[in-house]
Amino acid sequence: MTTAMRSKAAPKTGVDWFLTFLRVLLSGLVLFGLLAFLWQQIDPGNPLASAINPDANRLSWDAFQGLVISGLSQGAMYGLIALGYSMVYGVLGFINFAHGEVFMVGAMTGMITSNKLFEAGVWEDNFLLAILIAVLVSVICSTVTAVVTERIAYRPLRGSPRLIPLITSIGVSFFIQNTSAVLLGPGAKSYPRLPDWLRDDVGIGPFDIEGKKLLVLVVAGVSMGALWYLVERTKTGKAMRAVAEDKEIASLMGIDVDRTIVTTFAVGGAMAGVAGILWGILFGSVTEFTGFLPGIKAFSAAVVGGIGNLGGAMAGGLTLGSSESLAPQLVLEPLGVTGHTQLKDAVAFLVLIFVLLVKPTGLFGERLSAEERA
């Protein structure tokens, strides 16, 4: 009898039944909420809405498309940060929790650069040149931060039990946060005012998209395309995939494993730098804690898409961003949940729990090394 046959024949434990109950419960709540939303759209005064949500109103098309675009733009940034988590996990097999602070360094650097360009008059006179310079500086600073972190904090621990670099990454995260507070001062720092044309809506098909959100989506898409080309079509990308698969075999084939690992951190840092400047443009301000919650959500996005899977990381980010934007209005509000607009963070982590319950390997499946699979 094979292992698979024995596994099928094994009786369900109490834990199995509990997990099945959670799957059914969460699926039922989501389905019920969506049906209640559709009924509310047809008849806001229906008996169910009158009983549990007396203030129910139809969701207008403008409000719906605003939620969709906001979710996609924020999800795109989660996806860019999640790429760094997935790449490092694929190569080293541990979660770099300091990656959120690498993103914060990019956002802070973008704030400093953009304000200097604003003072020089370039931000208003030639915005495209200014934003290109700000992105370049943010990418360089985030890349340097990621590479230095790998060299000082992680390389000496290579080969240690996984818990040690994991705890180290948390310590590095606090160190970068506090360094930012000491050098730049605590509290929020603002980006300069965006040009008027970036605050105007742009019509694309049935959607009217705010200029800055369209910029975020375009830059995120271009960055993801560039990363795909690097990983799939270049020698550097092939080396990264070989090291992620099996470091020893890759070394025997002449690949410089240390250099490839540094390159992986650098590329992940560059993606975080792009996400950092986009975050500043979208929300207008940053703090030393800016990287914490987006970093945790980006890690969740990497798990939702499938840890180690780059396409999955980006898709997981879009899924998480869209869910936390749409679910409060489409699921929680029809159920009569009070303060539903304040629960988007809870929704994001409920999506993570639901995906792990239904498909523990993520939506697109994990991509693990030979050692991990063993």
Residue 168 pLDDT level (bands cut at 50, 70, 90): very high
Amino acid 52: pLDDT: 84
- pLDDT of residue 342 exceeding 70, the answer is yes
**What is the Cα 225 distance to its own chain's centre?**
16
Residue 10 pLDDT level (bands cut at 50, 70, 90): low
Contact 142, 109 (CB under 8 A): yes
Amino acid 160: pLDDT: 86
Q: How far apart are CA 68 and CA 72, in angstroms?
A: 6
Contact 84, 274 (CB under 8 A): no
Mean pLDDT of 205-215: 87
208 SS3 class? strand
Residue 45 pLDDT level (bands cut at 50, 70, 90): confident
Q: How far apart are CA 187 and CA 111, in angstroms?
A: 13
Reported as a single tens digit per residue, the pLDDT across 278-298 is 999 999 999 999 999 999 999
- pLDDT of residue 258 exceeding 80, the answer is yes
- Determine how many CB atoms are found less than 10 A away from the CB of residue 34: 14
201 SS3 class? strand
Return phi, psi of residue 191, to 5°: -80, 155
Helices (H), the chain: 3-9, 14-42, 47-52, 61-92, 99-119, 122-125, 127-149, 163-184, 196-199, 211-233, 235-245, 247-252, 257-283, 292-305, 310-327, 344-358, 370-373
Q: How far apart are CA 291 and CA 297, in angstroms?
A: 10
- pLDDT of residue 2 exceeding 60, the answer is no
State the chain's mean pLDDT as an integer: 89
- pLDDT of residue 230 exceeding 50, the answer is yes
Reported as a single tens digit per residue, the pLDDT across 100-140 is 999 999 999 999 999 999 999 999 889 999 999 999 999 99
- pLDDT of residue 53 exceeding 90, the answer is no
Two tokens at 102? Answer: 């690498």
Task: Provide the 8-state DSSP code for 154.
Answer: I
Amino acid 360: pLDDT: 87
Describe the crossing of helices 99-119 and 61-92 by its angle, rounded to 10 degrees.
120
DSSP-assigned states of every residue in 100-133 = HHHHHHHHHHHHHHHHHHHHTTHHHH-HHHHHHH
- pLDDT of residue 148 exceeding 50, the answer is yes
The number of CA neighbours under 13 Å toward the Cβ of 93 is 20
Amino acid 338: pLDDT: 82
Two tokens at 212? Answer: 């800055």
Of 80-94, 106-120, 158-172, 360-374, the range with the lowest mean pLDDT is: 360-374
**What is the Cα 90 distance to its own chain's centre?**
16
33 SS3 class? helix
**What is the Cα 55 distance to its own chain's centre?**
34
Residue 9 pLDDT level (bands cut at 50, 70, 90): low
Reported as a single tens digit per residue, the pLDDT across 23-34 is 999 999 999 999
Amino acid 294: pLDDT: 93
Q: How far apart are CA 243 and CA 266, in angstroms?
A: 15
Q: How far apart are CA 147 and CA 153, in angstroms?
A: 10
Q: How far apart are CA 49 and CA 40, in angstroms?
A: 7
Q: How far apart are CA 150 and CA 293, in angstroms?
A: 22
Between residues 14 and 167, the one the model is more confident about: 167
Between residues 330 and 340, the one the model is more confident about: 330
Amino acid 1: pLDDT: 44
